Amino acid sequence: MGAGHFQEFEDEYLETLYEFHEKHPGRRVKNGDLATFLEVSPASATEMVQRLAKNGYVDNKPYKGALLTAEGMILGKQIKRRHRLAEVLLSRLPFDGDIHQTACRMEHAFDDDLEVCISLLLGNPTIDNSGKQIPDARQELESRLIPTTDIIPLSNLKQGKAEIVLIMTNVKGRTVLSALGVQSGAIIDADNGLSIDGESLDLVEELAHRIIVRCL
């Protein structure tokens, strides 16, 4: 049930209706409010809501507004989850563009495998950059989100040793970290606090999120 089954503009409406649901659960959304939020004409919003209703994703009551059906809720929630995961990923990369707009484009390219991969890579975050809750994954993906891989963020390394395989920061940040011995191929020991070659390593959690290691 991936987002690839739907055109991008349909995704945007489902995601927007889910966002309205987050703010006011159970409240219907009028077509005019959708049009304003999405910056489209009222006629376009009405046409799309009717189309989504015909396909079973929206319960539409004339003059009262639209409400996601159970199936529409699943899809809207999934799209919003993927958008927020994309924002977290971009925030940890040396990316200088518009995070929100880029995440809007990325969310449509997600499938289940990519969602699972990125969520695990990021350490299964629950909060996005703005402090908003990242919706839970669909039930059928939950078993795949249990960290079984040996590739994890450094922030998740609680004991043992691991090799640094990826540093998701800009060139300046990597230069500073390199001076501390934090570079690809370096071995980090977490048995008694973090250390490299016997030298203690004190990193803020946000920076530790950006360093990906392979457990040894």
In the sheet that 199-200 helps form, which strands lie side by side, from edge to edge? 151-153, 211-215, 161-167, 187-189, 195-196, 199-200
Q: How many residues does the chain have?
A: 216
* Rg of the chain in Å (alpha carbons): 21
Under 8 Å between Cβ of 142 and 112:
no
As given in the structure block, the two tokens for residue 104 are 């809007």
pLDDT number for residue 4: 44
Q: What is the pLDDT of residues 65-87, one digit of tens each?
A: 999 999 999 999 999 999 999 99
Under 8 Å between Cβ of 38 and 16:
yes
> Strand pairing partners for 162?
188, 215
Rounded to whole angstroms, the Cα distance separating 20 from 33 reads 10
Q: What is the pLDDT of residues 181-206, one digit of tens each?
A: 898 889 999 998 899 988 898 888 88
Q: What is the average per-residue pLDDT within 5-13?
A: 79
Tell how far CA 97 is from the center of its chain: 17
pLDDT at 3 over 60: no
The neighbour count for residue 65, using CB atoms within 10 Å, is 20
pTM: 0.77
Q: What is the pLDDT of residues 109-167, one digit of tens each?
A: 999 999 998 998 888 999 998 899 999 999 999 988 987 668 888 988 888 999 998 88
- Residue-range domains of the chain with CATH: 3-72 (1.10.10.10), 84-145 (no CATH), 151-215 (2.30.30.90)
Write the DSSP string, 181-195: T-STT-EEE-BTB-E
pLDDT number for residue 37: 95
pLDDT at 5 over 80: no
Picking from 179, 159, 165, 180, the residue whose alpha carbon sits closest to that of residue 210 is 165
- When the pLDDT of each residue in the chain is averaged and rounded to a whole number, the result is 90
pLDDT number for residue 148: 66
Q: What is the pLDDT of residues 20-45, one digit of tens each?
A: 999 999 999 999 999 999 999 999 99
Q: What is the pLDDT of residues 84-113, one digit of tens each?
A: 999 999 988 888 899 999 999 999 999 999
